[in-house]
Chains A and B, each alone.
Chain A
Amino acid sequence: MPDHHYEPERAIAGTGMGGTMDLGVDEAETLEKRPEGPDGTGPQERPRSLWSDAWRDLRRNPVFIVSALIILFLVFISLWPSAIASGSPLACDLSKAQQGSRSGHPFGFDGQGCDVYTRTVYGARTSVAVGVLATLGVAVLGSVLGALAGFFGGFWDSVLSRITDVFFAIPVVLGGLVLLSVITSNTIWPVIGFIVLLGWPQISRIARGAVITAKQNDYVQAARALGASNSRLVLRHIAPNAVAPVIVVATIALGTYIALEATLSYLGVGLKPPSVSWGIDISAASPYIRNAPHALLWPSGALAITVLAFIMLGDAVRDALDPKLR
């Protein structure tokens, strides 16, 4: 088998949404430490901890700072939307339908006469909640299954690999349409459940790979030779090495899950009104695209910035944690 697989990076990409591949502003290459030129020897490196080193890099990275600030703001307005939007997102007045911006209503009104500003603010809550919870679910399920497969290998590993293949072969949006179209519950849980169901193989592959690599490290072999128990091996020696790549991929995946929720809501199978979601609003605004483009643009912009922030954050974290991951 050739050892190239772009599928892990593309688990979500098939939906027309980002995976995790090389999003880096990967200038590290030109910054390689080659002070002496091609035949030089590098300066002596002091050993530092991976995490403190990463944190030092991140603090100096403007991409990280900007995306982290955006994300903090998003989290804030998801928790306390009323802090910056006084009205209710469900208070709509048909007589104001499609009207443009005016004092007190900076983004204007949508086709139902709802205030676009208020709805855009409240929409953040759905996106952040879906993104965070789905990512947690995917990360936990994927890591555990992937780590088990990687650690024990053999039969269970093969079974897991085949199951992973099956999930990769199903187009994500299609699976969402089929599965979610029959669910009537109007909470965020079915969407989260669906993302976890189709998202875990992406993480499990990475966790599996990281565990297999870590397992072959000399010090792990040594610990094993010294009679360390399996659980001790996994927790003390292998897990710390597998955590970094999982965190990186999960952060970027978070952004794509938010996009996926919006896409499914746009297609009418994710969240449904009266839930507030950018996907729903964009979908609802698209028939009025001619007369009230603002109703489309604001939630679209919010969605794009949110996804961008998470992808950039994951990107920056990846660069900081391991330039070789790219």
Chain B
Amino acid sequence: MLLEVRDLHVEFHTRDGVAQAVNGVSYGVEAGETLAVLGESGSGKSVTAQAVMGILDMPPGRITGGEVVFRGRDLLRLKEDERRRIRGAEMAMIFQDALSSLNPVLSVGDQLGEMFTVHRGMSRKDARAKAVELMDRVRIPAARERVRQYPHQFSGGMRQRIMIAMALALEPALIIADEPTTALDVTVQAQVMELLAELQREYRMGLILITHDLGVVADVADRIAVMYAGRIVESAPVHDIYKAPAHPYTRGLLDSIPRLDQKGRELYAIKGLPPNLMHIPPGCAFHPRCPLARDVCRTHEPPLYEVSGTRGSACHFWTECLNG
């Protein structure tokens, strides 16, 4: 296992109380594998990723339990300086909004080159050459000229390519992409996703793809972890999930995708709102919105039941769900 997250707990302390953002998440990624983490906003998928990267805002955030084992080491036990050396070099992150995630007052060449000067001790000149190379690599035209330009001078798709180039710079073993295409035009989305998938195969990197877009997932992911209220509610190989979800929440997500063959039918929507993380419902957090909910769901929190050797569901009635 390249990365294994075990029973991670994260909370946020705010004026209004303590928000339980991540409540015992466990997942793993192999080298060369793509894990898609799926969920609504507030499900804890980004917070988990930030905890893995070690870029969580602390305070207000606090990791209250769990392990993040990366290449055999528990990252949460490392000193900040040791973690820093891993960040960017061994694991890298791609953010959603490239415009705000790139420094507006530094040229893209400086920002790319920085990876090499800081982590590899290269000279500025060599780093600049590497930056051009990287920009070529992610197919930015006229890289040699554009390396001097600033982020605002690039289009959205090109900026996201720069983010990808930056993440790839030191050929990390793991890349975490947090909604990498959400901010882009639909036509550009496919290109960027394709590029990311291609580079991942080429470098045999582990990829954690955080998204709420099931369409993106189907094409590139090997496994899917569905998160709700800071927990994994279903974890399975991608084809299994699409064939037959084993959790009513996953089913709800799949049913709410508009499909051409169901044109004219009313679109399904999961009723109710995502839970308030300061007051997560007792028992199964999904029960207020669940069509299958019974008394036991209100009182007993379901564990991640083993559906098959590679598959788990945190639903008391997963068999019922699986059989439709």
| Chain A residues within 8 Å of B, Cβ to Cβ | 30-41, 43
Q: A33-B15, A35-B276, A37-B46 given; name 4 further pairs at CB < 8 Å.
A: A31-B14, A33-B14, A36-B42, A39-B47
Closest residue to A27 on the B side, CB-wise? B15
- Which A residues lie within 8 Å of B44 (CB)? 36-37, 39
Question: CB of B138 within 8 A of chain A?
Answer: no
Q: Would you mind naming 18 contact pairs between A and B with Cβ atoms under 8 Å apart?
A: A31-B15, A32-B14, A33-B15, A34-B14, A35-B16, A35-B17, A36-B12, A37-B19, A37-B47, A37-B61, A38-B46, A38-B47, A39-B42, A39-B44, A40-B21, A40-B41, A40-B42, A43-B276
Give chain B's interface residue range (CB within 8 Å of chain A). Answer: 20 to 34
Residues of B close to A30: CB separation below 8 A: 60
Q: Are A35 and B14 in contact (CB under 8 A)?
A: yes
Contacts between the two chains (Cβ within 8 Å), count: 55
Given contact pairs A31-B15, A33-B16, A38 touches B50 in the complex (Cβ within 8 A): yes
Which residues of A have CB within 8 Å of B98?
none
Q: Which residue of B lies closest to A28 (CB)?
A: B15
Q: Which of A31, A34, A35, A40 has the most CB of B within 10 A?
A: A35
Asked if B165 CB lies within 8 Å of chain A CBs, one says no
- B237 close to A (CB within 8 Å): no
Interface residue B31 (Cβ < 8 Å from any Cβ of A): no
B10 located at the interface, meaning its Cβ lies under 8 Å from any Cβ of chain A in the complex: yes
Task: Enumerate the 7 nearest inter-chain pairs by beta-carbon distance, A residue then B residue, closest first.
Answer: A39-B46, A35-B19, A36-B42, A37-B21, A40-B42, A31-B15, A37-B47
Indicate whether B173 reaches chain A with its CB closer than 8 angstroms: no
Main secondary structure of the interface of A (DSSP, over half): loop
Across-interface contacts of A39 in B (CB, < 8 A): 41-47
Interface centre among A31, A33, A41 (most CB of B within 10 A): A41
In the complex, residue of chain A having the shortest beta-carbon distance to the beta carbon of B55 = A38
Contacts of B12 in A (CB 8 A): 34-37
- Contacts of A40 on B, CB cut-off 8 Å? 19, 21, 41-42, 277
Residue B216, interface by CB 8 Å? no
Q: Chain B residues near A37: list those with CB within 8 A.
A: 10, 12, 19, 21, 44, 46-47, 61, 277
CB neighbours (8 Å) of B17 from chain A are 35
Instruction: Decide yes or no whether B199 CB sits under 8 A from chain A.
Output: no
A32 (CB) vs chain B CBs: closest residue: B14
Cβ contacts under 8 Å, B16 to chain A: 33, 35, 43
* CB nearest to B16 among chain A residues: A35
List the B residue with the shortest CB-CB distance to A31.
Answer: B15
Q: Any chain A CB within 8 A of the CB of B274?
A: yes
Give A36 to B42 CA distance when docked, in angstroms.
6
B278 touches A (CB below 8 Å): yes
Question: With a CB–CB cut-off of 8 A, which chain B residues contact A35?
Answer: 12, 14, 16-17, 19, 276-278
Please, which residues of chain A bring their CB within 8 A of the CB of B45? 39
CB distance from A43 to the nearest CB of B (A): 6
Q: Whole-angstrom distance between the alpha carbons of A38 and B45 in the complex? A: 10
CA distance A34 to B59 in the complex (A): 12
Report yes or no: A41 in contact with B274, Cβ–Cβ below 8 A.
Answer: yes
Complex Cα spacing A39 to B210, Å = 11
Residue picked from A36, A37, A38, A40, most chain B C-beta under 10 Å = A37
Residues of chain B with a CB closer than 8 A to A41's CB: 41-42, 274
Q: How far is the CA of A135 from the CA of B99 in the complex (A)?
A: 44
Chain A neighbourhood of B14, CB < 8 A = 31-35
Q: How far is the CB of A124 from chain B (nearest CB, A)?
A: 38
Inter-chain contacts of A32 with B (CB < 8 A): 14
Q: Residue of A at shortest CB range from B12?
A: A37
Q: Which residue of B lies closest to A40 (CB)?
A: B42
A33 — which chain B residues lie within 8 A by C-beta? 14-16
Residues of A within 8 Å of B46, CB to CB, are: 37-39
* Min CB–CB distance A144 → chain B (angstroms): 40
A34–B60 CA distance with the chains assembled, in angstroms: 9
Closest to A38 in B: B46
Bound-state CA distance A34–B41 (Å) is: 12
Q: How far is the CB of B73 from chain A (nearest CB, A)?
A: 25
CB neighbours (8 Å) of B10 from chain A are 37
Please give, as numbers and ranges, the residues of chain B lying within 8 Å of A38 by CB-CB distance: 46-47, 50, 57
Question: Shortest Cβ distance from A53 into chain B, in angstroms?
Answer: 16
